[in-house]
Structures are given as C-alpha cells and as structure tokens.
Amino acid sequence: MIAAVSGTAQPRKKLLGVLGGEAASPPPIWLMRQAGRYLPEYRAVRARARTFLDLCFSPDLACEVTLQPIRRYGFDAAILFSDILVIPYALGQRVWFVEGEGPRLEPVRVVTDLARLDRTNVRGALAPVFETVRRLRRELPAETTLIGFAGAPWTVATYMVEGASGSDFAVVKDFAYRDPAAFGALVDLVVGATVDYLVAQVEAGAEVLQLFDSWAGVLSEAAFRRWVIAPTAKIVEQLKQRCPGVPVIGFPRGAGMLHADYVRGTGVDAVSLDTTVPMALAGALQELVPVQGNLDPRLLVIGGEAMLGEASAILRGLAGGPFVFNLGHGIVPETPPENVAALVRLVREGKWR
C-alpha cells in the first residue's frame, strides 16, 4: 500500500481540494493535451526525438514538454506526457506512429495472438515513464498537481484489435460479439497491466489519475456495461486498495445517458465530460461527483466572443460546485496559443460571473 504523497504542512493544492468535493473560486483549470503541437516550444522538442514513442520514453524530453504549458499558462495541473498505447507496447505488441495519420499496431485478432502478450514486464518496459514522473514531481511548482493517466481497457483494446484508430469499430465489435470470452481475456490483461502501470505512476509521484475511454460512446447499453463499466470498476477497486487517497477521474467520452451509471458503477472520484454533455446532465452528475469539462476544442481554435461566451456559460453552470475547467476533448494542433491565454484569463479573473 502506498500513502498518497502530500506534504502535510503545505496548503492543499486547488485541484486536490476540488476532487475531494470542494468548490473553488476561481475553479482549477488544465486542458487535455495541453502539452502538444499547438505550442512552438513543443514542436521544437518533438523535432529532437526520432519517433513519438522515443519522445514518450525520454525523461528529459517528456519532462520538458510536460512543463512547457505550466510555464506558459500556470495551469493548476500538469499531466504526464505519455500515450495510452504504451500499455500495448509494454505487453509486447508492436506499436508505431505514422506522422499525420496516427497510431498503428500489429493487431491482436485471435486467441493465439493473445498468447504472445506478456503482462510481466510492464514496470520494466515503462521505467522511463516513471522516471519522468519522479522528475516532474520535483520540478513542478508547489501549487501544481501532477496527473498520471492511462487509457481505459475498452479503448486500449480497441486499438489493440483494430490496429489503428478505426472509424466504425467493426473489427473490435465483431471480436467482442463473436468471442466474448477471448475478448474478455484481452480486456482482463489490459486491466492488470493498467493497474500495475498506474500504481507505479503513483509510487513515482502522480497525485491524481485519469482514465481515458475515448471510444466509450460507440457501444450498446449491454456492451457498455460489460466492456466499459465492469473493467473500469476493476481498475478503480484495485487502485483504491493499492494507493488509497489518490483520486481517479474517469473520462467515458460519448457515454451520453449512461454517465450516471458509469459514475455509480465504476466508483471513480470525478468524471470528465465531453463536449456533447448538456448542462442539465453535467449538473446532475455534479450531485454525485466533481465534474470536469467541457468546452468544445474547436472554440479554442476560433477564440474571441464565441469561445468566451460558451466558456462563461459552462463556468456559470458548474463553478458553484466542485468543478475543474477543461475541454471536452484534447486541444487541436491549429489552436492559437493566445486563445489559450485568453481562456485562462477568463477563468482566473472571474469576468464570466
């Protein structure tokens, strides 16, 4: 068992307070994919790594890009620079990134493919990531929370089976429907590896964990319960035992009406909301747990009154309770950095009231 790393003499960090159920004024803000291609200083560091995975596995470079948006904007949280596909990589699957197209994996489609995956080396294969976390924890400002993360099992398994980010999820759905026992074995393997990975992140200094389920929104209700809620619940349960006191944020993107069932069924401490979640649902979810979200990343590209107006509406609706300002999905590369600055000013200066 690991005690949550927190200096008892220090004032509590804003994000941790909110995830503990407090309302903060102004609310904390960080943005998904805040370390990324929209920043010129990121692109400069990216150019020094041969591949995207090399960047993730270089503590020097990964630490630097994680810190860049903190220096520029003073976000309340830094999120470890890594990728959800380091889990398939650590399991022994071949993973690579095609510039401008996204990830590619040698797909797992039959039981014999599964037998080639090895769960025993997650900590070894991902040691550089934990070194990055350790350095970040030392280098971050005292008020900045460090968030670790992983992909949720359904989303990770989707990439493992499809071999790429598919558009209709035909291959993975057919696998799951045709042979739920084999697909379940794959999901369980990912659950175990993910727990090992996240526990090691906490040991290295991560103070909050987020589970990204980017493709949660493509499933029927029965499949959502089986492949999203159940495996996430297993992860949360093991995390609660092995690193109590570390809040877990779930992000079941596209979960629609099933958000409340997700929150109740998984035991996550907070829920991150995608752009489509309407205010009435966000408010209802906030009765259950702290919520995070959910500005459309395209509005950050546009900026100006369109962005400020919608961001203000979100703040007016949710900042009275436990709330973390964020986007509904990751920042896109064409975002002008000055729009991010304007958004942070809006949140911090409280002109949305």
Q: Write out the residues near a copy of itself by the rule CB under 8 A.
A: 167-170, 173-174, 177-178, 217-224, 254, 256-258, 261, 275-281, 294, 296, 298-299, 301-302, 306, 310, 313, 328, 332
Provide, rounded to whole angstroms, the least separation between the CB of residue 183 and a copy of itself: 12
**83 is annotated as an active-site residue:** yes
C-beta closer to a copy of itself: residue 15 or 343: 343
**159 is annotated as an active-site residue:** yes
Beta-strand ranges (E) seen in the chain are 77-79, 95-98, 102-105, 145-151, 208-213, 248-252, 270-272, 291-295, 323-327
Rg of the chain's alpha carbons, rounded to an integer?
A: 19
Q: Is 2 helix (H, G, I), strand (E, B) or coil?
A: coil
Strand-pair category, 77-79 with 95-98:
unpaired
Provide, rounded to whole angstroms, the least separation between the CB of residue 148 and a copy of itself: 27
**264 is annotated as an active-site residue:** no
Provide, rounded to whole angstroms, the least separation between the CB of residue 261 and a copy of itself: 8
User: 124 Cβ partners below 8 Å, 6+ apart?
Assistant: none
C-beta closer to a copy of itself: residue 157 or 299: 299
Give the bridge partners for 323, in sequence order.
Answer: 291
Catalytic residue among 38, 42, 73, 83: 83
Catalytic residue among 42, 159, 197, 262: 159
Provide, rounded to whole angstroms, the least separation between the CB of residue 173 and a copy of itself: 4
User: 255 Cβ partners below 8 Å, 6+ apart?
Assistant: 213, 216, 217, 224, 228, 262, 274
Provide, rounded to whole angstroms, the least separation between the CB of residue 253 and a copy of itself: 11
**118 is annotated as an active-site residue:** no
User: 304 Cβ partners below 8 Å, 6+ apart?
Assistant: none
- The count of other CB atoms within 10 Å of the CB of residue 169 is 16
C-beta closer to a copy of itself: residue 142 or 280: 280
Q: Is 22 helix (H, G, I), strand (E, B) or coil?
A: coil
C-beta closer to a copy of itself: residue 92 or 184: 184
C-beta closer to a copy of itself: residue 97 or 169: 169
**37 is annotated as an active-site residue:** yes
Q: How many CA atoms lie within 13 A of 194 on its CB side?
A: 32
Q: Is 105 helix (H, G, I), strand (E, B) or coil?
A: strand
C-beta closer to a copy of itself: residue 70 or 327: 327
- Max Cα–Cα distance, the chain, nearest Å: 58
Provide, rounded to whole angstroms, the least separation between the CB of residue 267 and a copy of itself: 20
Catalytic residues: 33, 37, 46, 83, 159
